[in-house]
Amino acid sequence: MSFKYKLESVSGKARAGVITTPHGKIETPIFMPVGTRATVKGVMPRDLKEDIGAEIILGNTYHLYLRPGHELIAEAGGLHEFMGWDRPILTDSGGFQVMSLSGLRKITAEGVRFQSHIDGSYHMFSPEKVMEIQNAIGADIIMSFDECPPYPATKKYVAESLKTTLDWARRGKAAHKRKDQALFGIVQGGIYEDLRQESAEALMEMDFPGYSIGGLAVGEEKTHMLRITEYLNGILPADKPRYLMGVGTPEDILNNIANGVDMFDCVMPTRNARKGTLFTRNGKLIVKAARYKKDFDPIDSECTCYTCRNFSRAYLRHLFSVDELLAMTLASIHSLHFYLDLVRWSRAAILEGNFESFRQHMLSRMQGGA
Amino acid sequence: MSFKYKLESVSGKARAGVITTPHGKIETPIFMPVGTRATVKGVMPRDLKEDIGAEIILGNTYHLYLRPGHELIAEAGGLHEFMGWDRPILTDSGGFQVMSLSGLRKITAEGVRFQSHIDGSYHMFSPEKVMEIQNAIGADIIMSFDECPPYPATKKYVAESLKTTLDWARRGKAAHKRKDQALFGIVQGGIYEDLRQESAEALMEMDFPGYSIGGLAVGEEKTHMLRITEYLNGILPADKPRYLMGVGTPEDILNNIANGVDMFDCVMPTRNARKGTLFTRNGKLIVKAARYKKDFDPIDSECTCYTCRNFSRAYLRHLFSVDELLAMTLASIHSLHFYLDLVRWSRAAILEGNFESFRQHMLSRMQGGA
């Protein structure tokens, strides 16, 4: 089955919908756990699916291209087969990683020449090359190559970068070979509403099946992010999904759902979990803290995840204290489950028409106010 | 239900039996995955139980005493509750660890004064203290404190050490408070048959519900180990289980089952798995090797573990190459599953009366001969 999006219901500006892909349906709003290098760190696909309830995960084009390489993944039968994940996958464009990870990069009209952060070898990402890579990886949803300007950047820089990104979107669309993969265009334009509008309208003219919002959560103040997503909500078409790339905290997710965003991904729940900081409906919990030494309650007594059903704060604290592998796995399972709960609850609230009161309640509760 | 052992069948000297404990039955011969610090490294209890089929696991008294401490475990409701494992547990005596891990130790008639390998703090293990610790931890099967002589050691040293260990076994038995925990005596005596006999007979006089064979696999040649277990098979009572501590390779397990051993534990499957060396019925497989880069077969195409059902050698090789956590988990699951398969198959062969031909077949196959 090819790609489809159906808007089911709105509550304020918040949207509930269903995306259909060749690997199944995704109920939105949705959070996508990040599986950078063909694995969501420390979590088995079975647990992602059965316990956490992930409906789609994200793979990083830049990382997969470098290791194990897109040709190898294609030989394995694609990323789904390679990593044992039979639900939808989205791959990003690599644009953010060549900006943030690569030691050296040179941007030309042709593309970006960059050095691998692993061994310093030289590589070239062009819009065509990035399509070739993503076609080989075989995700259900893929991204056109973009230049992701750093923050802060002058308006002049962002405006010129935007022209390049739009040209690359056109070239990527032309180069995209697999019609079973939905190619999203990425809206850039930094913190400037007029540039965002220019970007969105140009992409809409090219008619993508979905639109990503890039270049946010790159260091700018939170107010800019919300201003831009609210602004774009008034421009982007209602009948296409919107994906806010690389965002964010539980608060960010709620606030951007309120601005009409449908899809999110972020390393925050898993990266924090591996260091012992867990997200819960009652705020962050730093489980390594001495106060949990003899606390035999679960991380969150209302949570239904495998970790909370079976283990105490004291046990997790012990595992972190002695650097046991299981600490990272159990913490990641909990925090991903919470992020998925957050979007499941948001969706239910949207369908019931009371998202705004749900959002206020959750924000207050996460600040310890409930 | 209290502790019971029932010998069901023999095939040559190999024995099939059933151990009953307060946390359920154990079919022997059995391999016990090692859960040193209240976790089998990288493996969730659910997978240990449902996928690997572990019937009993081992906890290390020395490690648990140091972190998180036996009082904390008791407050949590015991080790089963603390680590979320509802099947039987065995704790060792700490004797081997104070010998092999502690920076400094001083042995007196009273016990062993040693320094923690973690922070250099001083501690004293006496037979009474080790009972107190194991009573607090709450395993189903516990060990009397022993002095584990290093190898090589003079016969004079081993003979004197043996007297101390026998005295400690008496004192431990007297100090043991919880009648729901089965206390095993540990046969020592190094590579000397007369000392092993003296040790076994003195312990048998004290009438323990099971007998452990300690002080092997500490550096001596393999022929000594098999000679001693064969010798002890002629001495130890048929109606009590025999546990060979800290052994060993798949070959060791088969060869010692052939000598009448019922229980085994070893870090070998998990420690090797974390470094990328997996055990299979076709021998060891070093999955990081370049030859597996594009090998899309499972680790062992006949294996029914979660890892082999879902992932390829190429995928595991990738995970190891990029140092992903999941590599260690998936490899550990496979190798533990194989070790449990090995004892399950052994048991089936004993019940069918053809253990010796099974053993020959497996040994030949593991050497690449099948």
Query: What angle is formed at CA B103 by the lines to CA B172 and CA B33, rounded to 5 degrees?
Result: 60
Looking at chain A, how many residues does it have? 370
How many other CB atoms are found less than 10 A from the CB of residue A297? 11
Instruction: Give residue B1's pLDDT band: very low, low, confident or very high (50, 70, 90).
Output: low
What is the residue-wise DSSP string for B114-142?
EE-TTT--EEEE-HHHHHHHHHHHT-SEE
Q: Are A333 and A48 in contact (CB under 8 A)?
A: no
The secondary structure element, H or E, covering residue B18 is: strand B14-21
| Bridge pairing between strands A122-125 and A4-11 | unpaired
- Listed by start position, the domains of chain B span 55-266
Q: Which of B47, B51, B265, B300 is catalytic?
A: B265
Task: Specify the CATH number of the domain A4-266.
Answer: 3.20.20.105
- What is d(CA B227, CA B248) in angstroms, rounded to the nearest whole number? 16
Contact B314 A38 (CB under 8 A): no
- Residues B342-350, mean pLDDT to the nearest whole number: 98
**pLDDT at residue B370 in the model:** 42
Nearest to B318 among A67, A75, A330 (CB): A67
- What is d(CA B189, CA B197) in angstroms, rounded to the nearest whole number? 8
Q: Which of A51, A146, A252, A265 is catalytic?
A: A265
In angstroms, what separates the C-alpha of B325 from chain A's closest C-alpha?
Answer: 5
Strand partners, A8: none
Shortest CA distance to B27 belongs to which of B35, B15, B39?
B15
Distances (CA, A) of B168 to A226, B139, B181, B193: 70, 20, 18, 21
Distances (CA, A) of B20 to B26, B50, B160, B180: 6, 20, 35, 11
**pLDDT at residue A229 in the model:** 98
User: What is the rounded average pLDDT for all residues in chain B?
Assistant: 96
Contact B72 A37 (CB under 8 A): no
Query: Which two structure tokens, joined as six digits, stand for A212?
Result: 């990503």
Contacting residues for A300 by C-beta, under 8 A, at least 6 apart: A280, A281, A282, A285, A308, A334, A338
Looking at chain B, how many residues does it have? 370
- What is d(CA A317, CA A291) in angstroms, rounded to the nearest whole number? 10
Nearest to B312 among A41, A76, A310 (CB): A76
**Cβ pairs A/B, distance under 8 A:** 107
Nearest CA in chain B to A315: B82
Give pLDDT tens digits for B120-155: 999 999 999 999 999 999 999 999 999 988 889 999
Contact B84 A319 (CB under 8 A): no
Strand partners, B286: B277
Instruction: Give residue B308's pLDDT band: very low, low, confident or very high (50, 70, 90).
Output: very high
Strand partners, B278: B285
**pLDDT at residue B34 in the model:** 98
Assess whether A265 carries a catalytic annotation.
yes
B105 pLDDT more than 90: no
Model ipTM over 0.95: yes
Strand partners, B277: B286
**pLDDT at residue A369 in the model:** 46
- B320 alpha carbon, distance to own chain's centre: 27
Nearest to B76 among A314, A324, A326 (CB): A314
Task: Tell me the residues of A at the B interface, defined by beta carbons under 8 Å apart.
Answer: 37-39, 41-46, 67-68, 72, 75-77, 82-84, 293-294, 296, 306, 310-312, 314-315, 318-319, 321-322, 324-326, 328-330
Contacting residues of A for B312, CB less than 8 Å apart? 76, 82
Contacting residues of B for A325, CB less than 8 Å apart? 39, 41-42, 325, 328-329
Contacting residues of B for A294, CB less than 8 Å apart? 72, 75
- Best mutation target among B71, B315, B320, B330 (most A Cβ atoms within 10 Å) is B315
Contacting residues of B for A315, CB less than 8 Å apart? 38, 76, 82-84
Residue ranges in chain A assigned as alpha helix (H): 45-47, 61-66, 70-75, 79-83, 95-100, 127-137, 155-175, 193-206, 222-233, 250-257, 268-274, 306-310, 313-321, 325-351, 355-366
- Residues B88-99, mean pLDDT to the nearest whole number: 94
In angstroms, what separates the C-alpha of B76 from chain A's closest C-alpha?
Answer: 7
Contacting residues of B for A305, CB less than 8 Å apart? none
In angstroms, what separates the C-alpha of A74 from chain B's closest C-alpha?
Answer: 11
Q: Are B115 and B168 in contact (CB under 8 A)?
A: no
In angstroms, what separates the C-alpha of A219 from chain B's closest C-alpha?
Answer: 28
In angstroms, what separates the C-alpha of A44 from chain B's closest C-alpha?
Answer: 7
Higher pLDDT, A101 or B279: B279
**pLDDT at residue A368 in the model:** 75
Nearest to B75 among A294, A319, A328 (CB): A294
Q: Are A111 and A126 in contact (CB under 8 A)?
A: yes
Contact A84 B315 (CB under 8 A): yes
Q: Are A153 and A192 in contact (CB under 8 A)?
A: no
- What is d(CA A168, CA A94) in angstroms, rounded to the nearest whole number? 13
Residue ranges in B176-233 assigned as alpha helix (H): 193-206, 222-233
Nearest to A42 among B321, B322, B325 (CB): B325
Contacting residues of B for A288, CB less than 8 Å apart? none
Query: Which two structure tokens, joined as six digits, stand for A31?
Result: 């959070």
**pLDDT at residue A83 in the model:** 98
Contacting residues for B276 by C-beta, under 8 A, at least 6 apart: B286, B287, B288, B316, B320, B327, B331
Q: Which of B47, B92, B262, B341 is catalytic?
A: B92
Contacting residues of B for A296, CB less than 8 Å apart? 75-77
Contacting residues of B for A66, CB less than 8 Å apart? none
How many other CB atoms are found less than 10 A from the CB of residue B120? 10
Task: Tell me the residues of B at the A interface, defined by beta carbons under 8 Å apart.
Answer: 37-39, 41-46, 67-68, 72, 75-77, 82-84, 293-294, 296, 306, 310-312, 314-315, 318-319, 321-322, 324-326, 328-330
Contact A42 B329 (CB under 8 A): yes
- CATH of B55-266 given 3.20.20.105, 3.10.200.10, 2.60.40.10, 3.90.400.10: 3.20.20.105
Contact A37 B324 (CB under 8 A): yes
Give pLDDT tens digits for B23-69: 999 999 999 999 999 999 999 999 999 999 999 999 999 999 999 99
- What's B147's DSSP letter? -
Percent of chain B with pLDDT over 90: 94
Assess whether B86 carries a catalytic annotation.
no
* Average confidence (pLDDT) per 10 residues, chain A, 370 residues: 93 98 98 98 98 98 98 98 98 92 86 94 96 98 94 95 97 96 98 98 98 94 95 98 97 98 98 98 97 98 98 98 98 98 98 98 84
- What's A290's DSSP letter? G
| Bridge pairing between strands B211-213 and B263-265 | unpaired
**pLDDT at residue A370 in the model:** 42
Contacting residues of B for A308, CB less than 8 Å apart? none
In angstroms, what separates the C-alpha of A37 from chain B's closest C-alpha?
Answer: 8
In angstroms, what separates the C-alpha of B124 from chain A's closest C-alpha?
Answer: 22
Residue with tokens 């010129």: A160
Q: Is B315 left (phi over 0), alpha (psi -120 to 50) or beta?
A: alpha
Contacting residues of A for B294, CB less than 8 Å apart? 72, 75
Nearest to A76 among B39, B67, B296 (CB): B296
Contact B330 A41 (CB under 8 A): no
Nearest CA in chain A to B36: A324
